[in-house]
Amino acid sequence: MATAAASTRWDGKRPQSPLVDTVYVAPGNAGTALEPALQNVNIGVTDIPALLDFAQREKIDLTIVGPEAPLVIGIVDAFRAAGLKIFGPTEGAAQLEGSKAFTKDFLARHNIPTAEYQNFTEVEPALAYLREKGAPDCYQGGRSGGR
């Protein structure tokens, strides 16, 4: 058995390995409900205790995490601590994807080239920084998956 997150791409094919009986998708959606090889599980992606309980109860061999929300709150760490196999970065490593400020600070701290930046928690200092530096117009070309 295996489980996967709803946002992980599914190509519509049945599991190609004879070792895979069922692919569970948490929480799933209307599209995954139509796939005969998938079984939706009504558990939210950030409900780590419930996901952990489900994986243990169903004897899930491998969990693949798609969305970043459960990664940044430690699903991989929790599953590994329980002795379960899971594919994804640890909570600490997931911060690189989950927080732009964390990532920029990490890059600067390790002398990894990155564009000039500054972190702000208030609007006025951020606006002053933009006025001082001169911000170019930026336009998003096409879809970016929420990024």
Q: Which of 38, 42, 34, 89 is nearest to 65 (CA)?
A: 89
Neighbouring residues of 101: CB distance < 8 A, sequence distance ≥ 6: 119
Contact yes or no for 106/96 (Cβ under 8 A): yes
Per-residue pLDDT in tens (0 to 9) along the chain, 147 residues: 344 444 445 555 556 777 788 889 999 899 888 888 889 999 999 999 999 999 999 999 999 998 888 999 999 999 999 999 999 999 999 888 878 888 889 999 999 998 888 888 888 988 888 888 886 644 333 323 344
Q: Are 78 and 123 found together in one domain?
A: no
Domain count, the chain: 2
Pair 107, 49 in one domain? no
Shared-domain flag, residues 74 and 105: no
Angle at which helix 91-98 crosses helix 100-109, to 10 degrees, equals 110
Output the pTM of the full model: 0.71
**Cβ(23)–Cβ(7) under 8 Å?**
no
Q: What is the pLDDT of residue 40?
A: 94
Whether residue 56 sits in one domain with residue 118: no
Q: Quote the domain boundaries for residue 116.
A: 99-133
Q: What is the CATH number of the domain that holds 32?
A: 3.40.50.20
pLDDT at 146: 40
- Residue 72: partners with Cβ closer than 8 Å, 6 or more residues away: 91, 94, 95, 97, 98, 99
Provide the pLDDT for residue 97. Answer: 80
